[in-house]
Structure 1
């Protein structure tokens, strides 16, 4: 069944195109932060973690990787594990781009893979079918190349809540982000080692970066805390 927002896209198309162009013109372009993209820290049971995805995985919205997703996740985990971590993320990446990037890495082992993808698939009009196929291929690649015991598929953010997006563009993108997030939730059910982590943060202006589009340091801390709890539940500390 075709959803209401999909039906209304055609009559709304001129407005949506105009709003999209306006958002791009006035968008504050934030760089990927400086800082480490791999490291080893902590004591305890050895745990290898790969973080991969788009600009949110890359920490856009903060000034240094230490307060981005990877740095905050490492800070949460290092008191409990001998942690080896690596970040493979780039602004603008869709699922297909991350597939190509990770396929180029040498075969190695990671206990946990954290994926943050979906926003660029939404804005580039990736269909549910294509998103399902690409995410399924990504899970297969990760499983065969890195043999993780746990893949954390972070939910597609609720784009209707992004301060930088005007209505009705925010509503249309929000509906599509919810559909793609439903694909991730379904993959959770199909694979025992995949866990879908809904992207659910409080509606608080302080959780958005200055561009109104990316997470702030506080949002990254909350997000990393949720992920760390899931990881600790699966891999109990030896300390």
Structure 2
């Protein structure tokens, strides 16, 4: 009888311990990716409303989504340093960079600028000059390493509800955006810098309103996710 009771007690304790171990394992948080390097990488994002993520939460902007994607790839990455404000043209971005008095160098830099040059009807030749200067500034912030600079094309705001109600011809807007992008692409590729053309994808918003933020003009978090995913493999390869 004593032997039987001992066996039952042993079985009960073994089962309880096993359940405790299983529950302990279940309660453990999902492990985060092991960083490839202990060094924290730095990121500078230069631009306008498309860079600060006007009308979406900060975490939903493309620089912050990109940061999180890179962390998931195992990289240590600080929050991006952002120099961008809604409405800025190339000249206003240049002035802001001067005023910021940044001396820090960054592990990578993104540049997206020009929509407000087009919107205001500014000279495309002025844009050519100032964009070229901004690209060189971006390269200098990347410590002179052009492989660590990533230019993003200007999206087409004409397909948005705001664009459709602006009184401007949608096709004219598209043509002008294409002309500005032809300039920034030519300058970017001639400098040996990475260029991501997100403009065709931005035009899907003409039939897919989920790509547009509540203000009817700027991209939604969903569209910014597409931009971040387009940049991810290019930047990840360089940083690793």
Does TM-score exceed 0.5, indicating one fold?
yes
Q: Deviation of residue 209 (structure 1)?
A: 0.9
**What does residue 61 of structure 1 align with?**
55
Q: Are positions 1:73 and 2:57 aligned together?
A: no
Deviation at 1:145, TM superposition (A): 4.5
Partner of 1:159: 157
Larger radius of gyration: 2
Aligned-partner Cα distance in 2 for 1:152–1:168: 31
Q: Is the 8 A contact 1:110 1:146 kept in 2?
A: yes
The match for 1:99 among 94, 97, 113 is: 94
2:35 aligned partner: 43
What TM-score do you get using the length of structure 2 for normalisation? 0.74
Deviations along 1:19-73, one digit per CA (max 9) or x if unpaired, are xxxxxxxxxxxxxxxxxxxxxxx833342211121111011121x2011122211
Structure 2 unpaired stretches of 5+: 1-33
1:89 alignment partner, one of 84, 94, 99: 84
Cα distance change of structure 1 residues 216 and 107 upon mapping to structure 2, 3 Å threshold: same
CA RMSD of aligned residues (A): 2.0
Q: How many residues align?
A: 194
Going by fraction, where is helix more abundant, 1 or 2? 2
Matches within 5 A, 1:147-186: 147=143, 148=145, 149-166=147-164, 168-186=168-186
Deviation string for 1:188-213 (max 9, x for gaps)? 22112x22211232442210112221
Bigger share in strand: 1
Q: CA deviation at 1:221?
A: 1.3
Matches of residues 1-239 of structure 1 in structure 2 within 5 Å?
A: 43-45=35-37, 46=39, 47-62=41-56, 64-79=57-72, 80-84=74-78, 85-104=80-99, 105-147=101-143, 148=145, 149-166=147-164, 168-192=168-192, 194-199=193-198, 200-201=200-201, 202-203=204-205, 204-236=208-240
Question: Secondary structure at 1:108's aligned position in 2?
Answer: coil
**Mean alpha-carbon deviation: is it higher for 139-148 or for 105-114?**
139-148
TM-score normalised by structure 1 residue count = 0.74
